[in-house]
Amino acid sequence: MKFILVSPKNRTVYNFRGDLIKEIIARGYEVVVTGPNQIDVDKITALGARFVEIPINKNGVNPIADLKYQKALENLFIKEQPDVVLGYTSKPVIYGALASKKASKKIKKNIRAVCMITGVGYAFTSTTLKAKIIKFIMSVLYKKALKKADLVIFQNEDDKLLFENLKLVKSEKAKLVNGSGVNTEKFTLSPYPEKTTFFMLSRVMYSKGIREYLSACKIVKEKYPSVRCMLLGACEGIQDSLSSEDLKPYIDSGIIEHFGETDRVSDYYKECSVYVLPSYREGTPRTVLEAMAMGRAIITTNAPGCKGTVIDGKTGYLVPVKDASALADKMIKFIENPELITSMGKASYEYCLEKFDVKKVNADMIKYLQI
């Protein structure tokens, strides 16, 4: 028995799907993982999986490159003859589903194609002309691919309803899980820092709410200059991304402390009192789940994917999308009422155990994959 995971980025394999891979292997399957390059391959093979490099133009709109990617996946599926294929994020979902069915016909074996929508991304959250064009193209491709898929898994009810309402997927084919889950044995309760500290972990993108976080931190620091505001994440220089030049003044003035990408994210959660993610839309934000598992109160937006991670007023606060002032108000509330850091942090941890433990999420995934 064989399972293939189609991935857009190697880091996401061991960070977000590692526990799922180990569970599938424990059930007697050989696991093959595709990824775009050789970065961190040792961390993937350490899970017990075999790795195959298949380059992907993750953010570009190049039909020739995309068809080349689809053909490479098809050739892999013909060679490996898997029982189940799972793709996540847009291009692995679209081209993984299409390639699996083409390969199925050629090898005369039904490959079960499962797609996971981990968020709708830039095309569905931005209102620029470019985003609208990309959304139209993506919708056409999604509709074609998801028609071929055996099952489509969503990480929040809003995304599921959106795809159903746009007629991109039939409701009987759509299932729901609580995000990717979080390993509560890896991310564990830790003491709070002495100094009140806010932390955001994200790619430095507009749709993640980076402008609102920076503005809110500026408001907070003007009133309470001793408070720490941390940011961890790369400036990727892609559409929707804040540039390094735009971020530099906030670093130079001491409004935020900026850190690059790391594999030791738990060290940064330990340094924070409250976790902040003012995103415009998510699947289910993994960083929020990790912070919850470590006993941190959360401030996030009342947006699809985000709002399901917080019980407003109990485990943290929900604020309107694109509202830096409201975000700053909630940050200040924690500064002026420090007892909320511990009481809401405890409630956040308990909510995480109840709803987002990776063992519970993966039990649903295994059921839907039919493994």
* pLDDT tens sequence across 272-290: 999 999 999 999 999 999 9
- For 106-122, what is the mean pLDDT? 93
pLDDT for the residue numbered 147: 97
Mean pLDDT, all residues of the chain: 95
- Residues 198, 190: Cα–Cα separation, whole Å: 15
pLDDT for the residue numbered 235: 83
Q: 183-202 pLDDT, tens per residue?
A: 999 999 999 999 999 999 99
Q: What would the CATH number be for the domain defined by 2-181+358-369?
A: 3.40.50.2000
- For 114-132, what is the mean pLDDT? 85
- For 215-231, what is the mean pLDDT? 98
pLDDT for the residue numbered 29: 98
- Percent of the chain topping pLDDT 70: 99
Q: Is residue 58 over pLDDT 80?
A: no
pLDDT for the residue numbered 140: 95
Q: What DSSP line would sit under 283-324, residue for residue?
A: SS-HHHHHHHHTT-EEEEESSTTTGGG--BTTTEEEE-TT-H
- The architecture of the domain spanning 197-355 is 3-Layer(aba) Sandwich (3.40)
- For 26-30, what is the mean pLDDT? 98
Q: Where are the alpha helices (DSSP H) in the chain?
A: 10-16, 18-26, 41-45, 63-80, 90-107, 122-125, 129-148, 157-165, 210-223, 244-252, 265-270, 286-293, 324-336, 339-355, 358-369
Q: Is residue 60 over pLDDT 80?
A: no
Q: 65-86 pLDDT, tens per residue?
A: 999 999 999 999 999 999 999 9
Count Cα atoms within 13 angstroms, Cβ side, for 44: 26
Confidence class for position 21, pLDDT limits 50, 70, 90: very high
Q: 147-181 pLDDT, tens per residue?
A: 999 999 999 999 999 999 999 999 999 999 999 99
- Percent of the chain topping pLDDT 90: 89
pLDDT for the residue numbered 101: 96
pLDDT for the residue numbered 129: 85
What is the b/e burial string over 243-263, where b = at least 16 CB atoms within 10 angstroms of the residue's CB? eeeebeebeeeebbebbeeee
pLDDT for the residue numbered 311: 98
Least confident of 12-21, 228-237, 283-292, 345-354: 228-237
Q: Is residue 127 over pLDDT 90?
A: no
Q: What DSSP line would sit under 226-283, residue for residue?
A: T-EEEEE-----STTBPPHHHHHHHHHTTS-EEE---S-HHHHHHT-SEEEE--S--S
Q: 291-349 pLDDT, tens per residue?
A: 999 999 999 999 999 999 999 999 999 999 999 999 999 999 999 999 999 999 999 99
Confidence class for position 25, pLDDT limits 50, 70, 90: very high
pLDDT for the residue numbered 122: 72
Helices 324-336 + 339-355 axis angle, to 10 = 110
Confidence class for position 240, pLDDT limits 50, 70, 90: confident
Q: Is residue 125 over pLDDT 80?
A: no
- Ordered by start, the domain boundaries in the chain are 2-181+358-369, 197-355
pLDDT for the residue numbered 126: 75
- For 362-368, what is the mean pLDDT? 98
Q: Is residue 244 over pLDDT 80?
A: yes
